[in-house]
A = this chain, B = another copy of it.
């Protein structure tokens, strides 16, 4: 979707989304999934940090020396994190306070404006998605309608980032086929699909990184089952072979 202006703290993102839909000739429909980048949500919510006001701790300075980052950025990353998984030159992999495992805990310079300003993930991305959803619901006669707040995450083993869901409202984050059988009536081996992550990935194909397309609408999906935010996508440490042994 084009037509979304530059977002500033306090902006009514839902109203700007509605205007953007109109400008893009998109008429929201029932069963649409509206995917919004974390960046514009964070900006609208004022989830921005002025590095000039940050005094890095000694631990942040230590990590910054290892990683090669601005110590103030590392300080912000640490405030956003409950655990640092890896720190080495160019890599600072953290578990955010929400439970996402991502580089720099989602702290980001790009597309924020002003080199001294960084964005952090929304305080409660599920709530952010839920708020946007409730504002958009009247446009689709009360739904079904889903909203996903997304961010670009890197991945172990594979090169390149993919968009994933960091906040979900209005649809289940996963599709659970446990107990289902394949077309030969054999039990399925793969039972849990990361649907919301796949929706986020699909949205990224029209979002790009250079053009200003922070919102995408995915149409044609159907879902059933309970809506429980992004939590079903987050692997608890006790069940993560890479965090237990790492």
Residues in B with CB closer than 8 Å to A27 are: none
Known: A111-B184, A209-B190, A241-B91. A160 touches B204 (CB 8 A): no
Contact with B along A218-244 (1 / 0, CB 8 A): 101100000000001111000011110
Q: How far is the CA of A37 from the CA of B156 in the complex (A)?
A: 23
Q: How many whole Å from A116's CB to the nearest CB in chain B?
A: 11
Determine which residue in A108, A113, A194, A235 has the highest number of CB atoms from chain B within 10 A of its CB, and name it.
A194
A-side interface residues, number (CB < 8 Å):
67
| Contact yes or no, B115 A186, CB < 8 A | yes
Q: How far is the CA of A151 from the CA of B210 in the complex (A)?
A: 29
Q: How many whole Å from A214's CB to the nearest CB in chain B?
A: 10
* Residue in chain B with minimal CB distance to A165: B158
Instruction: Indicate which residue in B156, B160, B174, B189 contacts A156 across the interface (CB closer than 8 Å).
Output: B156
* Residue in chain B with minimal CB distance to A236: B159
Contact with B along A95-110 (1 / 0, CB 8 A): 0000011000000111
Q: How far is the CA of A177 from the CA of B156 in the complex (A)?
A: 20
| Contact yes or no, B188 A210, CB < 8 A | yes
| Contact yes or no, B202 A240, CB < 8 A | no
Q: How many whole Å from A76's CB to the nearest CB in chain B?
A: 14
| Contact yes or no, A110 B190, CB < 8 A | yes
Near B by CB (< 8 A), chain A positions 72-128 give 86, 88, 91, 93, 100-101, 108-115
Whether, in the assembled complex, A11 has its beta carbon less than 8 Å from a beta carbon of chain B, the answer is no
* Residue in chain B with minimal CB distance to A199: B205
Contact with B along A186-223 (1 / 0, CB 8 A): 11111011110111011011100111100000101100
| Contact yes or no, B201 A197, CB < 8 A | yes
Q: How many whole Å from A241's CB to the nearest CB in chain B?
A: 5
| Contact yes or no, B161 A194, CB < 8 A | yes
| Other contacts beyond A86-B241, A160-B197, A161-B193: 15, CB < 8 A | A100-B157, A110-B186, A111-B186, A155-B156, A156-B156, A157-B243, A158-B234, A159-B235, A160-B193, A160-B233, A177-B209, A180-B210, A197-B201, A198-B202, A205-B221
